[in-house]
A = this chain, B = another copy of it.
């Protein structure tokens, strides 16, 4: 009899928990990210990837590393409108944060890379970013650095010194850059005190207002059943007849259209994640909006044609703040030295 009562209470709580879980269009961040079968994560590969990620010798003049624009000691980005490449050149879009990029199904604002491996190879040979002439030049320089040669061989075997393996090492490292245990994640896992009442109001508001139709799934930027490599894009701006679009010059960047040259792709962008969004000002692909409050107002108007009240904005911002996770602790890598008494930088 007693056992029966306990079972009833227990099963009812399970159903209640399940119900709450089902109601959320998001889920807690998984502890491990999806990983391609041909690039398993190993400690040696991650260490090599961390070295390469931090190494400014991957840029033509030795001034820019992956970390310059995607700073893992800070927001995972650079908190600038446009990132600075070699010789102070400014790029055309704001650098997305590297945090949790392992969960994105495609990479870049226009989704032009289907994997972290593919992404890593881009900035190296972008003349305005790291400025190497081509991937062979990158690998020729790496081949001059004895410590890299031995590590590539150790991690990838003989003849392992290839641009694809370099990209694999960087991607493996990036897959460790996830930020678990945000207040939202703790809330989603059942700790109902992990978010403030205001954050919960904000969470309900974004569901009511309609933000969730795009900002969905575990990373708040794609349905969870989307395959890796498959992009999830939305048009921005959807409603172009308002002051924000003019003020913030939202019609200047055609997004995927600029990439595919297909008019149907004009103004389509990969949906950005909300995770750690409170760390990644300024906002939008052109970094034109300086605060999260304004970004929320702008999105409601430009994407949903809705004007939010001051309280709604404040509540939503409080919810978004609850998506700031814990940054991983990591040792500083020791970059393998150039051959004694030489520099490999041109």
Which residues of A line the B interface, CB within 8 A? Answer: 54-57, 61-63, 68, 71-75, 78-80, 84, 86-89, 277-279, 281-282, 290-293, 295, 317, 320-321, 324, 327, 329-335, 337-338, 340-345
Contact = CB atoms under 8 A, between A and B. Distances in A.
A102 B295 CA distance: 46
B61 A73 contact: no
Contacts of A72: 332
Contacts of A342: 281, 290-292
A63 B77 CA distance: 11
Given A56-B71, A330-B332, A343-B282, A338 B79 contact: yes
B79 A335 contact: no
A304 to B, nearest CB: 20
Nearest to A276: B337
B332 A73 contact: yes
A81 to B, nearest CB: 9
Q: Considering the complex of A and B, which 6 residue pairs feature the smallest CB-CB distances, nearest first?
A: A292-B341, A88-B88, A278-B340, A87-B88, A281-B343, A79-B343
A85 to B, nearest CB: 9
Given A55-B73, A56-B71, A290-B342, 19 more contacts: A56-B74, A56-B78, A62-B79, A73-B335, A79-B344, A80-B345, A88-B88, A278-B341, A279-B337, A279-B338, A281-B338, A281-B341, A281-B342, A281-B343, A292-B342, A295-B341, A324-B340, A329-B334, A331-B331
Nearest to A88: B88
Contact of A332 (B87, B89, B292, B332): B332
A54 B71 CA distance: 10
Contacts of A68: 63
Contacts of A73: 54-55, 332-335
12 contacts: A62-B79, A63-B68, A63-B78, A278-B340, A279-B338, A279-B340, A281-B343, A290-B342, A317-B340, A324-B340, A329-B331, A329-B334
Contacts of A281: 338, 341-343
Contacts of A337: 74-75, 278-279
A327 B147 CA distance: 15
A337 to B, nearest CB: 5
A343 B61 contact: no
Given A87-B88, A292-B341, A330-B331, A61 B80 contact: yes
Contacts of A338: 75, 79, 279, 281
A75 B337 CA distance: 7
A84 B60 CA distance: 13
Contact of A80 (B62, B292, B317): B62
A12 B295 CA distance: 79
A1 B68 CA distance: 71
Nearest to A283: B341
Contact of A89 (B88, B277, B329, B330): B88
A62 B78 contact: yes
B87 A293 contact: no
A95 to B, nearest CB: 12
A338 B291 CA distance: 11
Nearest to A340: B278
